[in-house]
Structure 1
Amino acid sequence: MTLFETIFFIFLLSSLRPSRSAEICRISCGVQSIRFPFRLHNQPDRCGYPRFNLSCKNQAQTVLSIPFSGDFDVVNIDYMFQNIWINDPDYCALRRLLQGLNLSGTPFALLYPQSFTFFNCSTASSTELPDAKYISCLSGRNYSVLAIPADRLDLSTSLSTSCSVIATVLVPISWTGWSNPGNGIMLTWNEPNCLFCESRAGNCMFKSDTGLDVGCSNGFTNGLSRRSRYGLMFGVGIPILFILGLVIYLRRKADNYDLQHPNSRGALPDSIRPRSRLDAAAKGLDGKTIEAYPVTLVGESRRLPRPNDNTCPICLGEYQAKETLRTIPDCEHYFHADCIDEWLKLNAACPLCRNTLEPFALTVS
């Protein structure tokens, strides 16, 4: 390595200092990856953004504490779209909403909120109304709790006189529509905005040791002074141009030699030509590779490889009997086969832990 190359790599490593900090702050609680803007309570303050504190219960369950509303289990964090999926520990999230979910002291908001009016009915016939949602976790042997969209309260005229209004609250409705109330609550956040950084597979984090300005460690940061940047430009740029010109000259000499001696070198076969991890992740996996991943048919007993993972992290739907699940061997996460097949065609990475897969290292029969 020449002197100029050594100087260049020293500047490069110093400018990428935030990447090392990001690795120090990255931690897991069970299967959930914890990274910026979130942090665990026992991590340094600069590992996360203010009010994004989490705790790890028994080294297995990630917990989000909401002021005045209590603790919620964290099911999944989607850093790409800035959503967090939480659930009531007793799997009745709607009870927590009716009790009054106060998000005013948090950076979060309900995802796609829609107003619903809840009714307590002493007769079971009311559950047959169209658009009326039966809430099993709030209902009892002699009464039923129903939820009707606030913009369809005309349906309430069909309710029996035994039905009384409980309350009208906002309920988060995902893009797939109303989901089982036991599936939890979807929240989102806007600040800090790490969408651009996440889309580049970078590490979103603070730009400096003070302040709340957020940057991305994927590439050079603004940590160098103007004088240092000019010094880097003239001290390293000119030698690099010289080296680049020398490489082009030698390349042309080699091409001319190959034209005169066509059999002097053999081309590498396509089967052993190296591929970039980024290219693989960008293009996704081919159909044969995806089909090689193991599948599991959910039986009538609905016994799962991991009993606590009873919902697909992609569509958020609960696994049902006779459904086909597919497992990613690298991390042993499983999903609906249809959901993960479509994902892997576009992204060669696990949607849950974001580990990049190596399609060229797999042996497909």
Structure 2
Amino acid sequence: MAFLGILFFLFSVFPLILAREACPVSRCGSNGSTIGFPFHLVGQQHQNCGYPGFNLSCGSQGTTVLRLPYWGEFFVRRINYITQEIQLYDPDNCLPKRLLAFDITGSPFMADYYLNYTFLICPSELTRSRFTAIDCLSNSTSSVLATSSMSLVSKMSSCQILTTLAVPASWPVQNEEDFSSDLNSDLQLTWDVPSCGDCEAQGGSCGFQNSSSLEVGCFSTPGTDNGSESSGSLQVFGIISLSITLPAIICAVGIAFFICFTGRRRDHSRVNAAQQSAASLEAPQEPAAMMGLDESTIESYTKVVLGESRRVPGLNDSTCPICLSEYCTQETLRCIPDCGHCFHAECIDEWLRVNGSCPVCRNSPSPVYANS
């Protein structure tokens, strides 16, 4: 169990340490936004470099792509790690069409504010000269308008209401009395978890505290003076600890392998010795002893499991007379009735299958045991 614990420590802690060192900021293309924690650039950064739900990928022409579970793909214009805001735009440059199916559930992102917008379908002749239509939703015969003013909607008797829905907004707008064409501008979303804004503002770098939880910590960034003195000291302590514990763990793994290998060899040698002893020792002179015992009779003989003291019942010493190995804690012994001599269970079982007498005193057990 100790060996398995060492392996678990190696495979869980060290990858995290190596991953933290291998998580530099990245970007898609020369003009793309910098990508760092909590975001993770799939295929180019280790999975521990990002928080769940913050996966990004690189698209064609160096674009940065965010895929929302129920809303599809958006291109990333900008990421502000201090204010924890991400600015998105539609790959097809028709954000109003995407807003008609707005759904950010299943993602860590949210909007600062929501405004109720009513979308109207109006004749083109009505809107061409008087209002600004949403071009990507309009055609030659009808135009699509959007407004948050219900009083303005009530005046558009020749238009048909398409839908009214809550649209994410960066700030609240009061008393809008016109039709909006700004819905095709960028979409700005925020996130609360993980909370790394203060860390970024101080020049630090966010990351996971360990590999077994989602607990996030702030670490000083090399080359900056904004990290706290305690964080720098903690890094030095971590490097020193790693340089000491890594060789010790490697040695422990080697010792564990050695113990496991020698233990198996010992068990194999013990069985071989029992087989050789059974074949080479002189058989008893009594005709009844020339025959081996059946399994039910052998199993009827007393078994003893040695405790920490390794005390063997009766006058037996601490060495098995068959394989000549010393008894160890938790090993199973079997004792011959009448004479009371004890042996390793696997050694004496092999002997009794060939010979019906004790290999030490050559006495056969009483008929009560032999026939039981």
TM-score (norm 2): 0.50
Note if contact 1:126-1:159 (Cα within 8 Å) is conserved in structure 2.
Answer: no
**Larger relative contact order (Cα-Cα within 8 Å, sequence gap ≥ 6):** 1
Note if contact 2:89-2:186 (Cα within 8 Å) is conserved in structure 1.
Answer: yes
Question: Which shifted more, 132-141 or 37-46?
Answer: 132-141
Which residue identity lines up with residue 196 of structure 1 in the other structure?
Answer: D
1:174 matched to 2:173: no
State how 1:163-242 maps to structure 2 within 5 Å. Answer: 163-175=159-171, 180-218=182-220, 219=228, 220-221=230-231
Residue 87 of structure 2 corresponds to 85
In structure 2, relative to structure 1, the CA distance for the partners of 1:69 and 1:75 (3 Å cut) is same
In structure 2, relative to structure 1, the CA distance for the partners of 1:59 and 1:221 (3 Å cut) is farther
Note if contact 2:134-2:181 (Cα within 8 Å) is conserved in structure 1.
Answer: no
Partners of 1:221 and 1:175 in 2: CA distance: 37
Displacement of 1:105 in angstroms is 0.8
SS in 2 for 1:198: helix
Residue 144 of structure 1 corresponds to 143
1:101 matched to 2:98: no
Partners of 1:210 and 1:223 in 2: CA distance: 24
In structure 2, relative to structure 1, the CA distance for the partners of 1:221 and 1:124 (3 Å cut) is farther
Deviations 1:137-177 (A, max 9, x none): 2122221111111xx2122221132x111111222223496
Displacement of 1:222 in angstroms is 11
Deviations 1:224-269 (A, max 9, x none): 6xxx89xx9xxxxxxxxxxxxxxxxxxxxxxxxxxxxxxxxxxxxx
SS in 1 for 2:204: coil
1:153 matched to 2:150: yes
Displacement of 1:135 in angstroms is 1.6
Partners of 1:22 and 1:118 in 2: CA distance: 50
SS in 2 for 1:154: helix
Displacement of 1:123 in angstroms is 4.0
Displacement of 1:109 in angstroms is 1.1
State how 1:55-66 maps to structure 2 within 5 Å. Answer: 55-58=57-60, 60-66=62-68
Displacement of 1:26 in angstroms is 1.9
Partners of 2:192 and 2:129 in 1: CA distance: 39
Residue 291 of structure 2 corresponds to none
Note if contact 2:28-2:58 (Cα within 8 Å) is conserved in structure 1.
Answer: yes
Displacement of 1:126 in angstroms is 4.7
SS in 2 for 1:24: coil
Which residue identity lines up with residue 151 of structure 2 in the other structure?
Answer: D
Residue 39 of structure 1 corresponds to 40
1:29 matched to 2:25: no
Partners of 1:22 and 1:140 in 2: CA distance: 54
SS in 1 for 2:23: helix
Partners of 1:179 and 1:212 in 2: CA distance: 41
State how 1:223-302 maps to structure 2 within 5 Å. Answer: none
Partners of 2:125 and 2:17 in 1: CA distance: 60
In structure 2, relative to structure 1, the CA distance for the partners of 1:67 and 1:208 (3 Å cut) is same
Note if contact 1:38-1:47 (Cα within 8 Å) is conserved in structure 2.
Answer: yes
Which residue identity lines up with residue 28 of structure 2 in the other structure?
Answer: C
Partners of 2:172 and 2:128 in 1: CA distance: 22
Which residue identity lines up with residue 38 of structure 1 in the other structure?
Answer: F
Which residue identity lines up with residue 54 of structure 1 in the other structure?
Answer: L
Question: Which shifted more, 77-86 or 57-66?
Answer: 57-66
1:118 matched to 2:115: no
Which residue identity lines up with residue 92 of structure 1 in the other structure?
Answer: C
Displacement of 1:128 in angstroms is 7.3
Displacement of 1:212 in angstroms is 0.8
Moved over 6 A (4+): 17-20, 176-179
Deviations 1:324-358 (A, max 9, x none): xxxxxxxxxxxxxxxxxxxxxxxxxxxxxxxxxxx
Partners of 2:161 and 2:21 in 1: CA distance: 50
Note if contact 1:127-1:146 (Cα within 8 Å) is conserved in structure 2.
Answer: no
Note if contact 1:18-1:205 (Cα within 8 Å) is conserved in structure 2.
Answer: no
In structure 2, relative to structure 1, the CA distance for the partners of 1:179 and 1:118 (3 Å cut) is closer
Displacement of 1:57 in angstroms is 1.4
Partners of 1:179 and 1:195 in 2: CA distance: 32
Which residue identity lines up with residue 164 of structure 1 in the other structure?
Answer: Q
Partners of 2:17 and 2:197 in 1: CA distance: 18
Residue 48 of structure 1 corresponds to 50
Aligned-pair RMSD on alpha carbons? Answer: 3.3
Residue 72 of structure 2 corresponds to 70
Displacement of 1:223 in angstroms is 10
SS in 1 for 2:188: strand
Unaligned runs of at least 5 residues, structure 2 = 1-15, 174-179, 221-227, 242-372
Partners of 2:128 and 2:70 in 1: CA distance: 33
In structure 2, relative to structure 1, the CA distance for the partners of 1:176 and 1:169 (3 Å cut) is closer
Note if contact 2:19-2:46 (Cα within 8 Å) is conserved in structure 1.
Answer: no
Partners of 1:110 and 1:172 in 2: CA distance: 5
TM-score (norm 1): 0.50
Partners of 1:123 and 1:157 in 2: CA distance: 18
Which residue identity lines up with residue 172 of structure 1 in the other structure?
Answer: P
Larger Cα Rg: Structure 1 or Structure 2?
A: 2
Note if contact 2:132-2:181 (Cα within 8 Å) is conserved in structure 1.
Answer: no
Note if contact 2:111-2:170 (Cα within 8 Å) is conserved in structure 1.
Answer: no
